Structure 1
Amino acid sequence: MATKDDERAARLKAALRDNLRRRKAQARSRADEAPGSAADTGPDASLVAGSEPAPKRQPAGKG
């Protein structure tokens, strides 16, 4: 019975390794396609795009 468990563990290990390689390759290709896209998603993205930021609100109960 240990042989079945060993075979299953080996298949799982190989599948996880292949999945990790695939995800790393996808991440590398995304980074190569748009190197500046990560900076465009931050809180100052509206400033980068050229639009005005939303006005700041007063806290409730003040003013």
Structure 2
Amino acid sequence: MGGRQITEADRRRERAAQKLRENLSRRKQQVRARRAGQADETDGLPAAKAGDDADTAAKLDESS
């Protein structure tokens, strides 16, 4: 059979393409949730509160 060999570069490209598709799907889901008035389901760190100060965060970090 005249099958083409799959190289490591091809595998990397395919993994990157899959990650991009997942990211796009997640972003679309976030936009739909915002339009529907639902809260975002984020995986990252929570946003800083209005009263938080960078100096306070640094002091807390140094104490640990």
State the TM-score, normalized to the length of structure 2.
0.48
Higher-RCO chain (CA-CA 8 Å, sequence separation at least 6): 2
Larger Rg: 1
State the TM-score, normalized to the length of structure 1.
0.49
